[in-house]
Chain A
Amino acid sequence: EPEVTQTPSHQVTQMGQEVILRCVPISNHLYFYWYRQILGQKVEFLVSFYNNEISEKSEIFDDQFSVERPDGSNFTLKIRSTKLEDSAMYFCASSPIVAGVSYNEQFFGPGTRLTVL
């Protein structure tokens, strides 16, 4: 069964450093997402991406964050200068398109645990 994969599973970085979290969505999906979950808290939406551009973003997704689809398979989340409060699980998700819109299920990856020291 196809699945979303994410690398690395755990990333440790120093405050102020740049990190890139990588995701390989399911191959025929066209909508991509990033969510995060701070330990013990809710899963929070960060950004959605369709047709090579951001379709929606949350207040969390400020200028420190960016997303990119550098090739036909990868989808990345970059944090330019990490802060202690960026420590969280980051989940990538993808979704198929039906009749031009995505109201179907989102398929989540296993997550990358980001620890900022």
Chain B
Amino acid sequence: DAKTTQPNSMESNEEEPVHLPCNHSTISGTDYIHWYRQLPSQGPEYVIHGLTSNVNNRMASLAIAEDRKSSTLILHRATLRDAAVYYCILKNFGNEKLTFGTGTRLTIIP
């Protein structure tokens, strides 16, 4: 599986935007970029995914570099409820499993 690299931890102030980076320099043409998060004591939760173009949904935006070797998850206005571990995962088309790394632990400062 292609590997992703994320910072171990990040902090952000409440009500500010958060940009969570992910590097995936060995991404293949059929790899989708998925983001999940895991709130304390809960199961992982899907956030967003994309292939080449930037994507928006009600939770977040995903900005994908033109060469697809990196991506950024954007939370537009962080709340305390967004404190979680965020995982950037490459998922190959037709491959069912999610391979979780250690993710980025996001702390929101009130």
Contact = CB atoms under 8 A, between A and B. Distances in A.
B38 to A, nearest CB: 7
B97 to A, nearest CB: 4
Contacts of B91: 103
A48 interface: yes
A56 interface: yes
Contacts of B99: 45
B102 A42 contact: yes
A43 interface: yes
A-side binding surface: helix, strand, loop or mixed? Answer: strand
Nearest to A111: B43
Contacts, number: 55
A18 interface: no
B38 A45 contact: no
Contacts of A91: 43-44
Contacts of B93: 101, 103
B96 A109 contact: no
Contacts of A75: none
A110 B42 contact: yes
B101 A42 contact: yes
A110 B43 contact: yes
B30 to A, nearest CB: 10
Interface in A89-113: 91, 93, 95, 101-111
Interface of B: 32, 34, 38, 42-46, 49, 87, 91, 93-102
Nearest first, the 3 closest Cβ-Cβ pairs linking A and B are A105-B46, A108-B43, A43-B100
